[in-house]
Amino acid sequence: MAETNNSYEQLFFNDGYNLGNAITDASNMSAITHTTQQLYEQIDLLTSSFLERCNRNGVSVDCKMGCAWCCHQPVFALTHEILIIAEYIRQRFSKETIALITEKAAKKSAYTRALTGKELLTVNQPCPLLQNGACSIYQVRPMACRIYLSSDVKTCIQKYNTPANPKVKPALFGFMLDAGRHLNHGFVTALDEKKIVSKEAPLEWMLHDFIQDASLIQKWLNGDTLNESYHFDL
C-alpha cells in the first residue's frame, strides 16, 4: 500500500483505502457505486464540519447554490465516477435531456481533445452537466467538485474572466483539496489492487461514450482498461 508523508494526509488516504478494500465483489458495479457514495458522505461530513468551523471563526466561504463560476473551468473525474454519473443520467433523465447532455459533452470533447495539457487547463466552457446555472447531477457529482471551496467569489470571477493568466487563482481552501485528493488516492489504490483501474481525465471525454454505451460498465469490471482512450497528461 502506498504511503504519504503528512500524518493527516495518511489518515485520509487510509480512510479511502479501507473503503475501497472493503469491497468484497469488485465485479459488481452496485458495490462500487455504494462504496463511492460512502466516500462522498465522508467528504461531505468533513465539509459540513469545516464550514461550521469557518463560520465560528468568521472565515468567509462564498460557495453557494446558483454560483457556477467554477463550472466553466476544466472538470476532471475518475473512471468509476463517470460510470456512476452516466448510470444516474440514464435512470433519471428524459430522452430529450440525455440527448442534450450527450450533445454538449461531444462538442466540448471534440474541442478539448485537440488541446495540449496546458491549453486544456485554460479552457473556459460550461460543464455539459450544468443546467440553468446549477449542477444537474449534484447528488453524484465527482470528488473534484465536492472539495472546490472558495473564500472569495471575486477571485473565481477573475479566473473566469482571465483563464489563461497563471497568476490569477481562485482563493481555495487547501485543506479540503488535500483531504479529497488523498481520500480518492486511497480508494483508487484499493481498486487497483482488485484489478479495477480508475484514472482521471476531463469529464467530457468519458461522459459522452459512457452515456451512450452501458456495456462499457461491464467491460471495465471485467478488467478492460477503458482509460487508455481517455488518458490525460499535462
Residue 231: its pLDDT value, please? Answer: 58
Choose among 3, 77, 67, 66: nearest CA to 40: 77
Phi-psi region of 223 (alpha: psi -120 to 50; beta: other; left: phi over 0): left
Bridge partner list, 131? 134
Within a 13 Å sphere around the CA of 94, how many CA atoms are in the beta-carbon half?
Answer: 3
Query: pLDDT at position 229, please?
Result: 58
Look up the pTM and report it. Answer: 0.91
| pLDDT averaged over every residue in the chain | 91
| Entry field: residues in the chain | 234
Q: Is the pLDDT of residue 232 over 70?
A: no
Least Cα distance to 135 among 148, 122, 118 occurs for 148
Cα distance between residue 78 and residue 70, in whole Å: 18
pLDDT digits (tens, 9 = 90+) for 188-210: 999 999 988 898 989 999 898 89
pLDDT at residue 116 is higher than 90: no
Whether residue 76 contacts residue 202, with contact meaning beta carbons closer than 8 Å, is answered with: yes
Over 23-45, what HEC string results?
CCCCCCHHHHHHHHHHHHHHHHH
